[in-house]
A and B are shown apart, each in its own frame.
Chain A
Amino acid sequence: MRAIVLFIAAAVAATSAGLIARGLSRVGVHQGYAPEQPIAFSHKLHAGDSKVPCLYCHSSARTSRHAGIPSVNVCMNCHSMLTKQTVDIERLKEAVQRRQAIVWTKVHNLPDFVYFNHSQHIGANVACRSCHGAVETMERVRQEAPLTMGWCLDCHRTRGAELQRSRQMAWAHADPKAPLPGTDCGKCHY
């Protein structure tokens, strides 16, 4: 009898410990986050059907750490000429008329103590969809990847490793046993 009670108690304890651990490790992980935006911009329509390249709108990803959200003048490059009217295009034009910037909700958020540089990854030919998923199929942008440090390191240790080795050998003749700069703590935390 006592054994059964003990067993049940132990099982409950173990389960709750497991749940707490899972909860704790999920703190700050927002996979699946798909907030509502002030303008219901559809990537499926623009990037998917119309095949607008990612870097056309998110051009700063090429040169800056921020990929950013395009400023309204980028939208108006096309929409000043297109005649289609929807509620959202109306909101866009209103923003121009009222000279008010649009307040988007950021979907992919890294904590302040992480430094992530888009241009570095674009320069290494990492495709946008590797981290952001198939955005061209999304009506509303959704965070596909967990964006945890472990997830970043998985790629750095495999694909990143290949790229770094080739560069190290070409330019600096570093020792093959040396750790990869891409996995240094200070690469992203400074």
Chain B
Amino acid sequence: MNAELRFWKSVDELRRDADDGAAAGRDCFAGQRARTGPPPAVSRRDFLTLAGFGLAAAAAACSRGSVQKAIPMLNQPEQMTPGVASYYATTCGGCSAGCALLVKTRDGRPIKVEGNAESAVFGGGTCASGQATVLSLYDDARLKGPLWRGQPAAWAEIDAHVSSRIAAAAAARKRVVLLSRTILGPATRRLVREWSSRPGFEHVTRDAISYSALRDATRASFGVDGIPHYRFAGASVIVGIEADFLGAWLSPVEFTREYAGRRRPESGALMSRHVHFESGLSLTGSNADLRVPIAPSEQGLVALALLHRIARRHGGFEVPEVDESSLDAEALDEAAEDLWRARGESLVVAGAHDEATQTIVHATNALLGNIGRTVDLDNVSLQKQGDDAAFDRLVEDMAERRVDVLILYGVNPAYDAPDADRFAAAMARVPLTVSLADRLDETAARADIVCPDHHFLEAWGDAEPIARHCSLAQPTIAPLFDTRAAQESLLAWQGRTPDFYEYLRAYWREALFPAQDRYDSFDEFWDHSLHDGVFARSPRPSNEHRFEGDCARAAASVLRARAQRAAAGIGYELHLYEPVGVRDGAHANNPWLQELPDPVSKVTWGNYAALAPALASRLALADGDVVAIEAGAQRVELPVLVQPGQSAQTISVALGYGRTRAGRVADGVGANAYPLAQSSGGGRRYIRTGVRLARTGRRDPLAATQTHHSMEGREIVKQTTLASFLESPAGGADAHADLPNLWAERPRGEHNWGMAIDLTACTGCSACVTACQAENNVPVVGRDEVRRGREMHWIRLDRYYTGSEDAPETLVQPMMCQHCGHAPCEPVCPVLATVHSSDGLNQQVYNRCVGTRYCENNCPYKVRRFNWFEYARNDRFDFNMNSPLGEMVLNPDVTVRSRGVMEKCSLCVQRIQAGKLEASREGRPVADGDIQTACQQVCPAEAIVFGDLADPSSRVSRLSRQQRRYRVLEEVGTRPNVTYLAKVRNA
């Protein structure tokens, strides 16, 4: 293993270590810690006196606890047993990827979301945002009923009014427009088609973050309407150009699953190779074998340079020469060489919102023979259907008073449109606006009528994210409030029966039931589909798709843009991106996602302006200095984050923050960067040039979780190259196996629970963090406490950099309680609140803990979290645990910890117990795979494996014997039960 690599966690650490070694003992929180407040009024001696009297009084007086009530149901359905979970298959509505889900419900309410392993596309994983959707169901900001001009109104009244207005508009041939987000469900799509079939009726689709350019390019290049379905599983070589496909681009769960499936060093030469060209350091870029920083305006140029090289090898395809002086020619040569060698099994993807760049990428894939292999144009992705041009025309029409009725479904342009004011003004000119939003958001607040839609966990529906892959969505709880399915609102206003369940069944009976031959009766087909959640029709066969795009014109456009940029000269470039977590802003009011550390920067609760270290140092800016970014007439103020790997003259800013009407968690957090996406010619652009940066003199310290611990020269994350690995696989395994043992060996119990984590598969997506939070009732602490280092996540992803600060290599390591065989935390607890179980777990007994925190001090991995406050039912922490609605998400099988108690990863002991109970009830031993921890179950890359180390044939045992194995800090002698498999990258 490469022991000579020097790892550093932050730019400060890199520079500090460069100066001298004296910094090793420095307080890691210098500059970030806040004062704790004035000294207490009561002195210690008084306190002890009062406590003594209080105890005596309590003992004398108190002999009985409070009276508890038990309220069984009046009429209990057979399928529901209190205390036993029921699972329902449905489809996620968190974003438009449409992942298949299996939702766990207890006592009639959903408490946990899992992926549906029946889905061939998505598998059993979900992303962090998907995990958090169960909490958004219990959001206090949701509307409790319909509103008419801000006042509660009755459905009947509203329906009468809207129906009559729509009918009047139709009669007078006026325009009635439905503006919606991407509609994934085929039944709903048919409903909307029927709706817009009448004269004057129109349906416009708008995605908050646009993929219009990719759609337009696909149509122009291949005559196909849709976005290609990218198959990473078939790709041995992947070149990404500013596409965060493992993070938030298009379909991250599916892409992560397929990508990680090809990152298996044990498969030798079959391990895929990934080169990534990007400006900001994204989650995907941090996983690449080679990451090349480029300026955002160079995206098209990089694509063109690549096409040029491929075309030269292919022959017979003219591509104009490009001025590559600003590009890394060596990297491009290498990438092109790899792509060509793996033609037919390679993939080039670009995230550019530019038709020309996408056309060039389509041409590249065509020349490489990838069409029909890794780029499926026959079974396209339907996950983004937005049409920017149609939306711009609509806003124009609205402003010109040519729209009579506007219905808004799943869109919030008054927040996320680049020129939100223009949209709001245009909206005011529409005589009747009806919003189907679930809350009084920025757009709904301006609508005349709000008819709140169900949350997807309360609603019927279906989805077809990839053509021919259908899934159903069913309610997992009766609607909590007086909301109504959007589809039923549309049916009601057409004068039809507002029963979407029947409509859905009718659609499946007519369109999908005939497309299969497994079930003879529709009811059988329906029941099985509902049970399985997914219905995969046989895919359309591969057809020939010839590239017919105008490459010459695309190239000219790219070169022209580049020339303009060069001519403009001064200023920085701005790169806007969709973050993992709050995404496009829809999830901003979700405290779990606000507190989720960004996978790369580890910053929570807000966005920031990421600057390259050299740039920051030249401008004398440090983390937390607030700067004003000015692009054209737009201006946004944000704190700086010094980001290693950030392209030299580029500022990266995340979208999705700065909401004003999302709820008490979201409002005022971060700054709204959408206005920076304005484009003078209409549409949107996520790259700006000629951007100015000005210091404001203010400071807003970042709430980052990354500056906790320095590496102290230890090899915490091991990395090697594929070549070295294949040559000598067992490089660093068991390096410390000969350490002397101070303790007697424990007698071997029935089980020995442990874990194996493959660092090559782990991408750092952070789904495990949110899954653990949902499963184990981990509290949210808020921005101020995160600044003090008191976030409560039981599992964290440590992110390390190695190499130069301008082009670092990034490593990610999931870290949770290692359940050490010789745990340093156990002997130091004065009250034995942390002890070792007979089956290998380090247990934390909350009721014994008195809060000395000695265990936390002793833990070398720093995985123990202390409850500094009462986080539940405490107005100071007004998140989901401070509201009767939010409390519904809590897992009843896990204690909610109170103040003064230590907590940490328990290896999901509640799931272990449930698994053992199930096995014992069936009279058999526990089988491998019966018990999955929350983090294991959610991981789309299957990087975490839990199981019984006492069983030599279990998966975890086999992985723990693999040659890449090592344990973190094993030189300390802790004997952890968690084994890591070293990260392997291509050279």
Residues of chain A whose beta carbon lies under 8 Å from any beta carbon of chain B:
20, 23-24, 26-28, 30, 35, 59-60, 63-66, 68-74, 95-96, 99-106, 109, 111-113, 115, 117, 119-120, 123-124, 167-168, 171-172, 174-181, 184-187, 189-190
Within 8 A of A (CB), among B735-770: 746-751
Q: Nearest Cβ distance between residue B738 and chain A, in whole angstroms?
A: 24
CB contact between B843 and one of A27, A66, A186 (< 8 Å): that residue: A186
Instruction: Give the top 10 A-B pairs by smallest Cβ distance, nearest first.
Output: A186-B843, A64-B83, A175-B747, A171-B925, A71-B76, A113-B847, A178-B747, A177-B747, A184-B837, A106-B68
Q: Cα distance A57–B344 when bound, in Å?
A: 65
Q: Cα distance A31–B666 when bound, in Å?
A: 49
Q: Nearest Cβ distance between residue A190 and chain B, in whole angstroms?
A: 5
List residues of chain B with CB within 8 A of the CB of A174: 747-750
List residues of chain A with CB within 8 A of the CB of B838: 178-181, 184
Q: Nearest Cβ distance between residue B843 and chain A, in whole angstroms?
A: 3
In the complex, per-residue mask of B711-753: 1 if CB is within 8 Å of any chain A CB, else 0? 0000000000000000000000000000000000011111100
Verify A63–B84 contact, CB threshold 8 A: yes
Q: In this assembly, does B45 line the interface, its C-beta being within 8 Å of a C-beta of chain A?
A: no
Q: Cα distance A43–B751 when bound, in Å?
A: 42
Within 8 A of A (CB), among B637-653: none
Q: In this assembly, does B428 line the interface, its C-beta being within 8 Å of a C-beta of chain A?
A: no
Q: Using a Cβ–Cβ cut-off of 8 Å, how many residues does chain B contribute to the interface with A?
A: 53
Binds A, one of B54-62, B94-102, B311-319: B54-62
Q: Cα distance A117–B916 when bound, in Å?
A: 12
Q: A72-B75, A123-B917, A181-B750 are in contact. Are A109 and B65 (CB under 8 A)?
A: yes
User: What 4 additional pairs, Cβ within 8 angstroms, besides A30-B64, A181-B838?
Assistant: A106-B68, A167-B750, A174-B748, A178-B749
Q: Cα distance A38–B880 when bound, in Å?
A: 34
List residues of chain B with CB within 8 A of the CB of A27: 58-59, 62-63
Residues of chain B whose beta carbon lies under 8 Å from any beta carbon of chain A:
56, 58-60, 62-65, 67-76, 81-84, 746-751, 835, 837-839, 841, 843-848, 893-896, 906, 909-910, 913, 917, 920-921, 924-925, 950
Verify B917–A120 contact, CB threshold 8 A: yes
Verify B843–A172 contact, CB threshold 8 A: no
Q: Cα distance A144–B925 when bound, in Å?
A: 35
Q: Nearest Cβ distance between residue B69 and chain A, in whole angstroms?
A: 5
Verify B920–A64 contact, CB threshold 8 A: no
Q: Cα distance A102–B76 when bound, in Å?
A: 13
Q: Cα distance A158–B717 when bound, in Å?
A: 47
Q: Cα distance A177–B750 when bound, in Å?
A: 11
Verify B74–A105 contact, CB threshold 8 A: no
CB contact between B920 and one of A26, A105, A167, A176 (< 8 Å): that residue: A167
Q: Cα distance A179–B841 when bound, in Å?
A: 13
Verify A175–B749 contact, CB threshold 8 A: yes
Q: A186-B837, A186-B843 are in contact. Are A73 and B75 (CB under 8 A)?
A: yes
A-B contact pairs, 8 of them (CB 8 A): A71-B76, A72-B73, A72-B75, A99-B74, A106-B68, A172-B950, A185-B837, A186-B837
List residues of chain A with CB within 8 A of the CB of B843: 184-186, 189-190
CB contact between B81 and one of A64, A117, A185, A189 (< 8 Å): that residue: A64
List residues of chain A with CB within 8 A of the CB of B75: 71-73
Verify A190–B750 contact, CB threshold 8 A: no
Q: Nearest Cβ distance between residue A122 and chain B, in whole angstroms?
A: 9
List residues of chain A with CB within 8 A of the CB of B72: 68-72, 101-102, 104
CB contact between A35 and one of B60, B67, B841, B845 (< 8 Å): that residue: B67
Q: Nearest Cβ distance between residue B820 and chain A, in whole angstroms?
A: 15
List residues of chain B with CB within 8 A of the CB of A181: 749-750, 837-839
CB contact between A106 and one of B69, B84, B747, B845 (< 8 Å): that residue: B69
Q: Nearest Cβ distance between residue B659 and chain A, in whole angstroms?
A: 36
Instruction: Write the chain A residue with the least CB distance to B908.
Output: A190
CB contact between A186 and one of B63, B70, B909 (< 8 Å): that residue: B909
Q: Nearest Cβ distance between residue A188 and chain B, in whole angstroms?
A: 9
Q: A20-B56, A64-B84, A184-B838 are in contact. Are A104 and B747 (CB under 8 A)?
A: no
CB contact between B846 and one of A113, A123, A175 (< 8 Å): that residue: A113
Verify A60–B74 contact, CB threshold 8 A: no
Verify A105–B62 contact, CB threshold 8 A: no
CB contact between B910 and one of A20, A176, A180, A190 (< 8 Å): that residue: A190
List residues of chain A with CB within 8 A of the CB of B920: 120, 123-124, 167
Verify A105–B749 contact, CB threshold 8 A: no
Instruction: Write the chain A residue with the least CB distance to B846.
Output: A113
List residues of chain A with CB within 8 A of the CB of B81: 59-60, 63-64
List residues of chain B with CB within 8 A of the CB of A26: 63
List residues of chain A with CB within 8 A of the CB of B906: 186, 190
Q: Cα distance A103–B73 when bound, in Å?
A: 10
Q: Cα distance A172–B848 when bound, in Å?
A: 31
List residues of chain A with CB within 8 A of the CB of B62: 27
Verify B70–A23 contact, CB threshold 8 A: no
List residues of chain A with CB within 8 A of the CB of B68: 105-106, 109
CB contact between A168 and one of B59, B60, B63, B750 (< 8 Å): that residue: B750
List residues of chain A with CB within 8 A of the CB of B746: 178
Give the residue among B751, B841, B848, B913 with the most A Cβ atoms within 10 A.
B913
Verify A190–B63 contact, CB threshold 8 A: no
Verify A117–B917 contact, CB threshold 8 A: yes
Q: Cα distance A74–B846 when bound, in Å?
A: 38
Q: Cα distance A117–B71 when bound, in Å?
A: 19
Instruction: Write the chain B residue with the least CB distance to A190.
Output: B909
List residues of chain B with CB within 8 A of the CB of A70: 72
List residues of chain A with CB within 8 A of the CB of B751: 172
Q: A27-B62, A120-B917 are in contact. Are A106 and B70 (CB under 8 A)?
A: yes
List residues of chain A with CB within 8 A of the CB of B748: 174-175, 178
Q: Nearest Cβ distance between residue A171 and chain B, in whole angstroms?
A: 4
Verify B70–A68 contact, CB threshold 8 A: yes
Q: Cα distance A28–B847 when bound, in Å?
A: 14
Verify A171–B837 contact, CB threshold 8 A: no
Instruction: Write the chain B residue with the least CB distance to A24.
Output: B59
List residues of chain A with CB within 8 A of the CB of B750: 167-168, 171-172, 174, 178, 181
Verify B74–A172 contact, CB threshold 8 A: no
Q: A27-B62, A179-B838, A185-B835 are in contact. Are A69 and B70 (CB under 8 A)?
A: yes
Q: Cα distance A72–B728 when bound, in Å?
A: 69
CB contact between B74 and one of A28, A96, A124 (< 8 Å): that residue: A96
Q: Nearest Cβ distance between residue A95 and chain B, in whole angstroms?
A: 7
Q: A174-B750, A179-B838, A184-B839 are in contact. Are A60 and B82 (CB under 8 A)?
A: yes
Instruction: Write the chain B residue with the least CB distance to A124.
Output: B920
Q: Cα distance A20–B426 when bound, in Å?
A: 76
Q: Cα distance A112–B890 when bound, in Å?
A: 14
Verify B917–A119 contact, CB threshold 8 A: yes
Q: Nearest Cβ distance between residue A31 and chain B, in whole angstroms?
A: 11
Instruction: Write the chain B residue with the least CB distance to A74.
Output: B76
List residues of chain B with CB within 8 A of the CB of A65: 83
Q: A20-B56, A23-B60, A168-B750 are in contact. Are A104 and B837 (CB under 8 A)?
A: no
Q: Cα distance A111–B924 when bound, in Å?
A: 32
List residues of chain A with CB within 8 A of the CB of B747: 174-179
Q: Cα distance A163–B920 when bound, in Å?
A: 11
List residues of chain A with CB within 8 A of the CB of B894: 190
List residues of chain B with CB within 8 A of the CB of A175: 747-749
List residues of chain A with CB within 8 A of the CB of B924: 171
Q: Nearest Cβ distance between residue B78 and chain A, in whole angstroms?
A: 10
Q: Cα distance A115–B912 when bound, in Å?
A: 14
Q: Nearest Cβ distance between residue A84 and chain B, in whole angstroms?
A: 22
List residues of chain B with CB within 8 A of the CB of A180: 838
Q: Cα distance A167–B916 when bound, in Å?
A: 12
CB contact between A115 and one of B82, B84, B893 (< 8 Å): that residue: B893
Q: Cα distance A120–B918 when bound, in Å?
A: 9
Verify A66–B83 contact, CB threshold 8 A: yes
Q: Cα distance A171–B948 when bound, in Å?
A: 13
Instruction: Write the chain A residue with the least CB distance to B892.
Output: A65
Verify A103–B71 contact, CB threshold 8 A: yes
Verify B895–A112 contact, CB threshold 8 A: yes
List residues of chain A with CB within 8 A of the CB of B63: 23, 26-27
List residues of chain B with CB within 8 A of the CB of A103: 69-71
